[in-house]
A and B are shown apart, each in its own frame.
Chain A
Amino acid sequence: MKRVLPPALVALVLLGLWQWWVTAFEIPVFLVPSPARIAQTLVADWALLSAALLVTLKVTFLSLVCAVVLGVAVAFAFVQSRWIETAFFPYAVLLQVTPIVAIAPLIIIWVQSPTLSLVICATIVAIFPIIANTTLGLRSVNRGLVSLFRMNGASRWQMLIRLRVPSALPYFFGGLRVASGLSLIGAVVAEFVAGTGGTGTGLAYQILQAGYQLNIPRMFAALALIAATGVLLFVLMGWLSHRALGGWHESARPADGAL
């Protein structure tokens, strides 16, 4: 409750100020709609917007799953040998630093299925923190424990499953939190690029359409849905991480001051 109340209060105050400002200064609705108007639009256009939300959610989750599966696989490959890591890490960085808007049109041309092309774009955006964090985690193993495992004749497999993987979990979940936000961003950005081709009906497409029609309240409503999705994803990942690390890791501890 303590963690929900303060931000909720802030939201209430800000929305109140916004509502007052729009009414008091008679701001036209096609410039800045009032929160009440946005809420009305959300309800009125719910059929349209919820269908779009589902499409965006689908792309976000599919890309997050792809990023996790591929990212973890790549991280495992990296820790198998320094040579593999040295040879391939620059290309992982390349994925990270190339702006997705620049490659998205190409991918959309190459890949027939619109959903698949969006998922590929969003995966490219989301995968790097998973690769980087998981690799770091798999390498951050207590050296004493490595000696202990060796002295007791542990196999490579036992070392991986019983030592490296649990050691990597806190790092992995840190990466997952970042990646979940990035997969949403990737899904929206890719749809902005693809949407002009008339392929998608996700939230980004709705924002574009509403923009062409100067339907600003709907634009804001779609925006609010994207923001809410992002927050929910973040909370969900935090909860997952807490469930997985609860009990043993510092980050999962109920601290007195922080958080």
Chain B
Amino acid sequence: MLTTAPPAVEILGAEKTYPSGTRALLPVNLAVQRGEVVTLLGPSGCGKSTLLNLVAGLLTPSAGEVKVWGNDRGTSAAPAASDVSFVFQEATLMPWARVEANVRLPLDLQGIARAEADVRVNDALRLVGLEKFAHAYPRELSGGMQMRASIARSLVTEPTLLLMDEPFGALDEITRNRLDDELLRLRRQRDLTVIFVTHSIHEAVYLSDRVVVMTARPGRVVDELAIEPSLPRDEAFRVSTEFAAYAKRLQDALLAASSNADEALT
């Protein structure tokens, strides 16, 4: 067993209760292996963002443990290590800075030397196809391009773990599908481990190696579904019977979970 690398993320009975008494997340056990894409799928208020924030170190669990690359998140008050990047629901760019400066920000904050930063910023911009827009202001870009800039910013630190909180939720479906494809390409190129939060069943099936189904009131994990990794992720997959079957299973799991929750309430 000595050769076994630690999982990218290990969540051991982590839960979150706010001081007000609100139980945002019941204890969760989840391990994400290196190179995996795991989707957290569920309705609003199911604690999927809370779980992601626990992994990011932006929240501390009320009980339990969260380990990233074998290091306990909870023990140190230190913010997330540089090998973890977070992509927010919105592009969250600094409107006063040009795209180039936005992408450079994490390197500046971490005190990376200018010459090295220049190279990495250019790489990241090329990776998302924004090299021509390096000197544009965010408001001059479309929503999809802003999201690409945001992804470039998350990749510029060369993270091994990428945490994404409904990143494409505000985009139109065509742009979203295209960015899904780009994410899968980046994941292969950069050997990324990805935890992806979404409320879209189709996006979850398309992107994931594994889908974790969550439900609300209180937020908790109810089911898990592995998606056959050998299936090619392309346009044909989106209309295949396998895709429909996976989507149906997830849909049923979500419905069952929410009706159980409703019964529990009454």
Q: Is the CB of B137 within 8 A of A145?
A: no
A152 is an interface residue with CB less than 8 A from chain B: yes
Q: Give the chain A neighbours of B32 by CB distance below 8 A.
A: none
Q: Give the chain A neighbours of B195 by CB distance below 8 A.
A: none
Q: Is the CB of A151 within 8 A of B79?
A: yes
Q: Is the CB of A152 within 8 A of B92?
A: no
Q: Is the CB of B109 within 8 A of A142?
A: no
Q: Is the CB of A142 within 8 A of B79?
A: no
Bits for A177-189, please: 1 = Cβ < 8 Å to B, else 0: 0000000000000
Main secondary structure of the interface of B (DSSP, over half): loop
Stretch in B5-13, B81-89, B202-210 with 4+ CB within 8 Å of A: B81-89
Q: Give how many B residues have a beta carbon under 8 Å from the other chain's beta carbons.
A: 27
A6 is an interface residue with CB less than 8 A from chain B: no
Q: Give the chain A neighbours of B96 by CB distance below 8 A.
A: 166, 169, 245, 248-249
Bits for B109-121, please: 1 = Cβ < 8 Å to A, else 0: 1100000000000
Q: Is the CB of A144 within 8 A of B90?
A: yes
Q: Is the CB of B57 within 8 A of A151?
A: yes
Bits for A236-249, please: 1 = Cβ < 8 Å to B, else 0: 00000000010111
A142, A144, A150, A152: the one contacting B110 at CB < 8 Å is: A152
Q: How far is the CA of A149 from the CA of B109 in the complex (A)?
A: 8
A153 is an interface residue with CB less than 8 A from chain B: yes
A147 is an interface residue with CB less than 8 A from chain B: yes
Bits for A53-97, please: 1 = Cβ < 8 Å to B, else 0: 000000000000000000000000000000000000000000000
Q: Other CB < 8 Å A-B pairs besides A150-B79, A154-B109, 13 of them?
A: A144-B90, A147-B86, A148-B105, A148-B106, A150-B58, A151-B79, A152-B82, A152-B109, A158-B109, A166-B96, A169-B96, A248-B95, A248-B139
